Structure 1
Amino acid sequence: MAGKLEKILLIGSTGTIGYHILQAFLPKVASFKRVAIFTSQNTVESKKDLIAQVKAAGAEVLVGDLGNEAQVKETFAGFDTIISALGRGALHLQPGLISIAASLTPPKRFFPSEYGTDIRYDPVTSPHEVPHQNKLKVRAHIEALAREGKITYTYVVTGPFADTFFISRLQGLAVGLNIGNATYGIVGPEDPTKQAKISGTTYSDTARYVLSAVQAPAETTKNATLRVESFTAKPSELLKSFETVLGKSLKPIYSSLDELRKLEKAKSEAKDPSVVVYTLNRIWYEGGSDFSRKPVALYLDEKTGEDVEDPEKSKDLFKDVPKRPLEEVIKEIIL
């Protein structure tokens, strides 16, 4: 692969996070040789304004079916980089798409849909978390192909999406901001010194980081796990920042991690699909998304299959993504 990623194909680009990634790329279309989205005929017909915006920016709109292998293969052949922003309900499609990309030469760069909780936040517990299973399968598949030199990958891993985390709603538990009741729910001890930190990422910052990773020298993001965040703070610090932005006091409501675990277990036993939200909140409040304890980048050692640090290679990553005060991040979400 050349030193730059120049021909970019976005899939899942009209969904929640995909839309924001697309919006980050559209002003930069002229800096690439080719930018396109691959979408369905139904999306073309139902989202005409967005499709018009894409075309007006100089990007291409390629219409097709991700389930059509021949069509996908022909489309992928025209690009060096495929960025997936498929939602949780379509993650099962990714291994097949990755296999198609790996069948082509020269090797493609694939950005799997990794946005959300770090699925390798802990070597002991992470492999067993139910919401992680599809993404873990994707990683195992693409890493095996990468070790054979058939594909390269970049994971852009975020903390919980601040856009929804701040206003999380769990039945039976007060979590996050409730403006109407002037409350802020915290899971964990009341003593701030004993609270775990949470690293969160906004939709817009996620998009900025993806764009930055694509624009960086290709070797600095090759076979890399990149952890990105908009803020890292304890729940008590988040509460204070919300009060500053809103200009009023909020009543803190504390719940224990044991309470959350009991609710999660009950949802799991009832086979309630909403258990995913309880599991993710438990991971966050346990400290599973504290990126301050982890390197920004890890790189695949193709011989051992282990992820290793390379400070020299990663030192300049994301310098073009501005760091913002926590209050500014909060304002973006709630005002």
Structure 2
Amino acid sequence: MGESKENLLIFGATGYIGAYILREILKNKDSFGRIAIITSPGTAENKSEQLQNLKSEGVEVFVGDVTNPTDVLNAFKVISTVGRNVLAEQINWIQLAESIPSVTRFFPSEYGTDIDYNPQSVHEIPHQLKIKVRAALKATSSLNYTYVVTGPYADGQMLAYLSALAESARVIGTYDVKAKSATLIEDGKGKISFTTPKECSVGKLVVKALLYPEASNKRALKVNSFTTTPADIVAEFEKQTGDKWTVTYTSLAQLKELEAAAWENKAPLAPIYTLRRIWAEGGTLYVKRDNSLIDAEDNMETLADAVRDAIITQRSGTQATDTRKLA
């Protein structure tokens, strides 16, 4: 572990995943120097109370346009947790970061599916912007970087893996606590690697990667909270709700047809169809996870923890409406 305390500038810190990561960073703030976030004027107005709370914890808040280079010149180390709507903007941030000697590392918004899992991954439509971001980082001469690959989020927020989807979309996979029903792909016995956003599992993994630069530099860290199957997820929901669930199945072939139609019709959920297919095909399953490289084997959340939180989220009706960061 490095002995110097490094400064952090975080993009997307008030979003779905960014908020969890920032919370964990603040739990470990003694390990870092200055902690700053950059946020838009709209967010500053709409989330003023949240930002004031962050300031009270010692976070420096810069209000500005993330597309304007002059608004990010105070960056020291960059952690990006932005959603798909601004993924490409990271290329400009990388170019700016390389021109500033004080910026040493860049954590792009990778959290999710491994875009370099197999030879077919390079052709997946949702991967294209992240592929360009990786290429931009590899082309730099002075920046170190880390891709934190987590797999799908085991969470009950809308469009996350343990959420209840609308009737029109449940065929791609869903877990509905109110209806006590689930839809699984194929037979539901294929293993999937998951990471929980709540209780800061994603945040813990990012902080560990920050604190172990030698182990995480210029590589993809394939980390997770746990590995399980959709069938076991249903069993855990049944155990915790105390009721037998109705389970239906969608074949992989049917999912591929729906995916193709979604892209052809430019459906907003087309990326989710693709990701669900990738997960069902085993596209987040690794022979060995990298948690041990950054001292992150212990105290990770379990399937039982994730299902408990998903039940609470669904029953409380607090599922997120801004779903751009879940893809």
Residue aligning to 1:318: 296
Q: Following the alignment from structure 2 to structure 1, what is the Cα–Cα distance between the partners of residues 170 and 43? A: 37
User: 1:99-153: per-residue Cα shift (whole Å, max 9, x none)?
Assistant: 111112255100000011111121x2100000000000000110121xx3x1000
Q: Following the alignment from structure 1 to structure 2, what is the Cα–Cα distance between the partners of residues 188 and 23? A: 37
Residue aligning to 1:329: 306
Conservation of the 8 A alpha-carbon contact between 1:8 and 1:82? yes
Conservation of the 8 A alpha-carbon contact between 2:40 and 2:63? yes
Residue aligning to 1:75: 74
Q: Following the alignment from structure 1 to structure 2, what is the Cα–Cα distance between the partners of residues 120 and 197? A: 19
Whether 1:166 aligns to 2:162 is: yes
2:280 pairs, out of 278, 281, 285, with 285
Gap change, CA 1:27 and 1:50, over 3 Å in 2: same
- Amino acid of the structure 1 residue aligned with 2:228: A
CA apart distance, 1:41: 2.4
2:87 pairs, out of 83, 91, 98, with 91
Whether 1:199 aligns to 2:193 is: yes
Aligned length: 304
Bigger mean CA offset, 56-65 vs 151-160: 56-65
Q: Following the alignment from structure 2 to structure 1, what is the Cα–Cα distance between the partners of residues 307 and 169? A: 24
Conservation of the 8 A alpha-carbon contact between 1:198 and 1:284? yes
Gap change, CA 1:31 and 1:106, over 3 Å in 2: closer
Gap change, CA 1:28 and 1:295, over 3 Å in 2: closer
Give the structure-1-normalised TM-score.
Answer: 0.85
Bigger mean CA offset, 23-32 vs 129-138: 23-32
2:183 pairs, out of 185, 197, 204, with 185
Conservation of the 8 A alpha-carbon contact between 2:153 and 2:197? yes
Residue aligning to 2:30: 30
Gap change, CA 1:71 and 1:175, over 3 Å in 2: closer
Whether 1:223 aligns to 2:218 is: yes
* 1:1-335 aligned within 5 A: 3-4=3-4, 6-72=6-72, 74-76=73-75, 79=76, 81-106=77-102, 108-122=104-118, 124-145=119-140, 148=141, 150-163=142-155, 164-167=160-163, 169=165, 171=169, 173=171, 175-189=173-187, 195-204=189-198, 205-216=201-212, 218-291=213-286, 293-296=287-290, 315-319=293-297, 322-335=299-312
Gap change, CA 1:24 and 1:46, over 3 Å in 2: same
For the residue of structure 1 that corresponds to 2:28, the secondary structure is: helix
- Amino acid of the structure 2 residue aligned with 1:324: E
Gap change, CA 1:111 and 1:322, over 3 Å in 2: same
User: 1:212-260: per-residue Cα shift (whole Å, max 9, x none)?
Assistant: 21123x2122112111212211121111111112122112211110111
Q: Following the alignment from structure 1 to structure 2, what is the Cα–Cα distance between the partners of residues 267 and 197? A: 25
- Report the identity percentage: 38
Q: Over aligned residues, Cα RMSD in angstroms?
A: 2.0
Q: Which runs of 5+ in 1 are unaligned?
A: 298-313
CA apart distance, 1:156: 0.8
Q: Following the alignment from structure 2 to structure 1, what is the Cα–Cα distance between the partners of residues 50 and 172? A: 36
Gap change, CA 1:242 and 1:75, over 3 Å in 2: same
For the residue of structure 1 that corresponds to 2:87, the secondary structure is: helix
